Amino acid sequence: MSYKVGPNPETKQLELELCQRKCLYIYHYLIDPQFGFMNARIQTWFPFQIQICLNGREWLARQMDQARIRYQRLDNCFPWIENFEKAQKLMDRQLRTAWHSALKRFVRMLNPIHGKIFKGFPIQYYWSVYENEWATDLAFKSPSALAAIYPSLVLHAMTTFSSGDVMRFLGRKVHGCFQGEIVSDFKDRPEGVRIKHRVKKNSLKLYDKFGRVLRTEFTMNDPSDFKVFRPKENDPGGECKWLRLRRGIADLHRRSQLSQAANERYLDALAAADTSIQLGELLRSISRPTTLNGKRIRALRPWSQEDVELFRAVSHGEFSINGFRNRDLQALLFKGEPTSQKERQRRSGRVSRLLRILRAHHLIKKVSSTYRYVLTTKGSEIMTAVLTAQRITLDQLSRVAA
């Protein structure tokens, strides 16, 4: 983006117009004492914009060298670190960086005459985040350990996660006002299979690195879909409210919180893909009658249409954040609005009995001091297995068994 001078037909004067123009960029590749290998570029036309690319793993390697922590490094991941806990603390320290001061020194290197150019109108660079990638790595002790479960994780993500699930991973809900595209795809690359879930310009990926590290990675290109608790920009001392996330570095720490939460929700969902327990063994406990407060409760029928619809309703992605209520399930299990008070009571009673069945089998639990319920770990495992079995084809099942 640069300026051009053009006539204004209304004012009959020449004016500056900001637009996209062709210009040259000067690229710098360097090994920085703090950030390690990095690159920076400057636009040679006014207003001399600067773009800097940093890699957090490269930076972490520098930190571990200074702390004398031994590690094994493959590209931008660490299959082995002598002390993972200390390394994580070093990584967390990156979030407390005084970014304006840290980046200001690159201005002096890239544009040494900045002070002369703006001598009559002193102005500093405004730093914003064009794109950030936040990766969470799980290091395995051997390639065989990861290879044993990775196909099951990929298959689980491909056949189980719906659009609502993808939105939940990003801390959002699918609603009538949503305008965008939710896409899940996978790519079979030479180094392994990568699965990617994209919501508009933001995405969440899963892939293995060198057969040793399982990585989930959240990429944020459009922060406007997220919120941060802050005062208004024109009232820094005013009341804090949940406002749109900005591109400026002031909201960088909030970006890290949102990104880490997305990765954790995704990994928690993948954890439901049990790779060792047989399906029959997993379902045996719910296929028998049980009791709750001394009353007999019927067995669940995982292959019946009624119970599958119930599992599908309580497993809705939007409920994994705040849980679900009786009326939330009514909207999913019954068509249309109730036509009378009697019908409304009938629906509420029906859902209450279904919730009692799920509680008796320890598939859901009540959130204290609320009317909401959430899935238990057992419930998440069983319902994920049942719903996956409903979606999977015989061809896919044959390939997995092979």
Closest by Cα among 159, 375, 382, 133 to 258: 133
- Collect all residues with Cβ–Cβ distance below 8 Å to 100 and sequence separation of at least 6: 127, 249
| Angle, in degrees to the nearest 10, between helices 56-66 and 84-93 | 120
**Sequence ranges of the domains in the chain:** 128-274, 279-401
Buried b (16+ CB within 10 A) or exposed e, 189-204: eeebbbbbbbbeebbb
Q: State both tokens at 9.
A: 């037909």
Q: What is the pLDDT of residue 278?
A: 65
Q: What is the pLDDT of residue 25?
A: 93
Quick one: average pLDDT of 142-162? 79
Quick one: average pLDDT of 106-129? 89
Pick the CATH number of 279-401 from 1.10.3470, 1.10.10, 3.30.70, 3.55.50: 1.10.10
Rounded-to-integer distance, Cα 256 and Cα 185, Å: 25
Q: What is the pLDDT of residue 243?
A: 93
| Tens-digit pLDDT profile for residues 178-205 | 667 788 777 766 556 788 899 889 999 9
| Tens-digit pLDDT profile for residues 259-290 | 999 999 999 888 877 556 666 777 888 999 99
